[in-house]
Structure 1
Amino acid sequence: MKSLGLVFGAALAFATMAGAASAETRVTYKSAKSGSSYYQMGVELAEAMKAGTGGDISVTIEESQGSVQNVMEVRARGGDYVFTTPPALVGLAQEGRAMFEDRSVPAFDEIRALFPIPSLTMHFVMSEETGATKLADLEGTTILLGKGSFGATEGEKYLEMFGLSENVEIADVELSNAVSALKNGQIDGFVTAGSYPAPNVVEAAASTPVNVISMSEDQIEETGRTRLVIPAGTYSGQDEDIVTTSLPVAAFTTTKMDDETAYQLTKTYWEQKAKMSDTSPWWAGVTPELMANITTELHPGAARYYDEAGITAGGSGQ
């Protein structure tokens, strides 16, 4: 009888441990290339989820080659898949347009939004010596655009759009060398896109006097991008708000995710955001107002949280 009791006790302990293990919800978060700011955000978000749920939600970070790949993988992923991409890209996928032409599948219609993350924010960073305070002042300067990035493509588009492409020299320097090239006078300025405060802009502003250019309301409207204000004081020597353009980015999943997991992910994200901001200031740029940029249908679990929190899809409290 004693041995039978020991066997029963061991079985009960095993069942208890198995139940505890099964209580952990595992999520895969696919964001960007390792080494990028968005990959680092994913790492920070995973740590926040672990802390905020007491380990009940475990997030594994996966490297990605870009937002299009993230969307395409919806076709083969399950209910544990969370990914980041601009909301506009989800719209293109669901409509079968642009890079998703002839590649649209029913799975795209099941994509649902969770929460916004820091936006890709355009920065035109100019040496203070140039006296440049607006885009027109770039005429006659040497600018570093970089290659292959959103910032490089967008910067080139703006130069063409505002009649500057023939009057600005484009430096053949890697973006990773922008700060040193600016300090030693190789370039007059550089263009970069990243969540603010952008590390390379922080470094540049701390090492040499710079102006981060504001765009006019008409210019912003002409670009077709989302208006964003970088608050005064974000960068050294920046005494006024910077008005610029941005590309909103958000976290998504699909209807395969259960409502409770989507609810806990969304709730924990917003509850941990302040702590994340203390470590990495780019999280401070995420506010309920960014919900206005999410055009994709919310996951029912996420919608439940926003209803409880009094946050509307328009980004303001109810």
Structure 2
Amino acid sequence: MKKRTLLAVALLSLVAFVGTAYAVTYITIASGGIGGTYYPLGGVMAEILTKAGIDVKATSRATSASRENCRLVASGRAHIGMSMGSTLYQAYTGTEAFEEDGALPLRILMHMYPAPHHIVTTKGTGITKFEDIIGKRVSVGAPGGGDQVLTNMILEAAGIDPDKDIKKQQLTQPEGVMALKDGNVDVVFWNFATPGSAVLEVAAVRDIVMIPIPQDVVDKVVEKFPFMFPYKIPKGTYPGKEEDVLTVADGNFLVVNKDMDEELAYKLVKTIIENREEIMKSIPQAEHFVPEEASIAIIPVHPGAAKYFKEHGIEVPVE
């Protein structure tokens, strides 16, 4: 009888050990639509997390991106979501597009990469500084598009009325490229990650000039729109550009539910950042996956992620 009891205890212990050793956490990453950066990045991240030996099995899911992803993570239908900073801020505060939702229980896992605003002209225009755009033919971006929304924020902060002070044009990115190359527009405002293919296309046939935003205008934009942050496009990003260019940027973030397990969040951010070089083989923007940039925050950071950043000497806001 005693032997049977000991055998039963041993078997139960073995089952418990095996169950613990092979416990797997299933993670869904809400990425974006096919053709954008989010979609392939989600696939690479899922593969990295699954193979990392952290007892995680991850899959990536195509979505309509930022707005949907914030709602999926808040409702628990996805564990990690990709979102632009402007959308994330609205979701966290329950404003604008999320007024009916109310404030969503989201936290930052990490900042992925910036989308700085580009103000581009060519040498033939004679434009060298921001105030030179007054009276010029300026494309502010396509109607209703993100480029135009952010451009209007900048112009407002600078005290420039786009309907009175410039000869406003509303061109899509491909239209802006052609217009700038052909001399049919003087300046274009664009928002995208660096290096932007639109800028490189113009630079292939024209000598481009990158216009910095004055510091006081940057300060006003950031103060009024907390999801924006100061950013310098590094010298050498574009042909012939030997100086950093001051601008403002919207960010692209990985977000999680505030109730995610702290240790899981720690493992996720640690694994993604420490596999930066592997991710870069497919997604160049992963060059920004370093603690100094990944810790940029526009809303509170999840405590698990904050723990990782603290190990690298970086304090982040935690609610």
Could you say which TM-score interval applies, normalised by the shorter chain? 0.7 to 0.9
Matches of 1:158 and 1:304, distance apart in 2: 35
2:63 alignment partner in structure 1: 63
Gap change, CA 1:94 and 1:283, over 3 Å in 2: closer
How far residue 172 of structure 1 moved from its aligned partner, in angstroms, is 4.7
CA-to-aligned-CA distance 1:190-247 (integer Å, 9 cap, x gap) = 2111122222222222332111111111111122231101110011111110100012
Unaligned runs of 5+ in 2: 1-14, 223-227
Counterpart secondary structure, 2:204: helix
When residues 197 and 74 of structure 1 are mapped into structure 2, their CA distance, relative to the original with a 3 A threshold, is: same
What CA deviation, in whole Å up to 9, does each residue of 1:285-304 have, x standing for no partner? Answer: 44433355314343343234
| Secondary structure in structure 1 of the residue aligned to 2:235 | coil
SS of alignment partner, residue 232 of structure 2: strand
Q: How many angstroms apart in 1 are the aligned matches of 2:241 and 2:75?
A: 46
Q: How does 1:14-33 map to 2 (within 5 A)?
A: 25-33=25-33
Q: 1:45 and 2:79 equivalent?
A: no
What's the counterpart of residue 133 of structure 2?
A: 138
The answer (yes or no) to whether the contact 2:212–2:247 under 8 Å persists in 1 is yes
Instruction: Give the Cα–Cα distance (whole angstroms) in 1 for the partners of residues 73 and 278 of structure 2.
Output: 31
C-alpha contact (below 8 Å) 2:173/2:198 kept by paired residues:
no
2:261 equivalent to 1:258: yes
Q: 1:298 aligns with which of 298, 301, 304?
A: 301
1:12 aligns with: none
Match of 1:249 among 228, 248, 252: 252
Answer yes or no: is the 8 Å Cα contact 1:136–1:164 preserved in 2. Answer: no
The superposition leaves residues 20-71 of structure 1 with CA deviations (integer Å, 9 ceiling, x where unpaired) of 9x7554322223333223334334433443554599533313222x433322
Q: Secondary structure at the match of 1:306?
A: helix
Code of the aligned partner of 1:30: A
- What's the TM-score once normalised by structure 1's chain length? 0.78
> TM-score w.r.t. structure 2 length?
0.78
Whether the 8 Å CA contact 2:113–2:251 is kept in 1: the answer is yes
What are the Cα deviations for residues 239-286 of structure 1, in whole angstroms up to 9, with x where unaligned? 110100012332111145334432222111111123434554433244
Q: 2 CA distance for matches of 1:42 and 1:190?
A: 31
Corresponding residue to 1:198 among 196, 214, 232: 196
CA distance in 1, matches of 2:203, 2:61: 32
Distance 1:76 1:161 in 2: 36
Query: Which secondary structure state, in structure 2, belongs to the residue aligned with residue 233 of structure 1?
Result: coil
Q: What does residue 151 of structure 1 align with?
A: 147
Q: What secondary structure is seen at the aligned counterpart in 1 of 2:243?
A: coil
Secondary structure of the corresponding residue to residue 275 of structure 2: helix
Contact 1:291/1:313, CA 8 A, preserved across alignment = no
- The residue number in structure 2 matching 1:10 is none
Measure the CA separation in 1 of the matches of 2:133 and 2:216: 18
Contact 1:133 1:213 in 2 (8 A): yes
What secondary structure does 2:33 align onto?
coil
Aligned length: 293
Identity of aligned residues (%): 26
Greater shift in the superposed pair: 239-248 or 203-212: 203-212
Q: In the alignment, which residue of structure 1 is the partner of 2:237?
A: 234
d(CA) in 1 for partners of 2:145 and 2:308?
35
Q: How does 1:163-202 map to 2 (within 5 A)?
A: 163=160, 165=162, 166-202=164-200
Give distance in 2, aligned partners of 1:137 and 1:283. Answer: 35
Q: Which amino acid aligns with 2:62?
A: E
Check 1:259–1:285 CA distance in 2 against 1; reply closer, same or farther (3 A cut).
Answer: closer
Residue of 101, 104, 108 corresponding to 1:103: 101
Among residues 123, 147, 152, which one is paired with 2:118 in the alignment? Answer: 123
- Partner residue, 2:221: 223
Question: d(CA) in 1 for partners of 2:30 and 2:24?
Answer: 19
Residue 179 of structure 1 aligns to a residue in which SS?
helix
Preserved contact between residue 125 and residue 210 of structure 1 (Cα < 8 Å)? yes
CA 1:137/1:31 → structure 2, altered by over 3 Å: closer, same or farther?
Answer: farther
**One-letter amino acid of the structure 2 residue matched with residue 115 of structure 1:** M
Indicate if the aligned counterparts of 2:138 and 2:168 stay in contact, CA closer than 8 A. yes
Shift of 1:125: 1.1
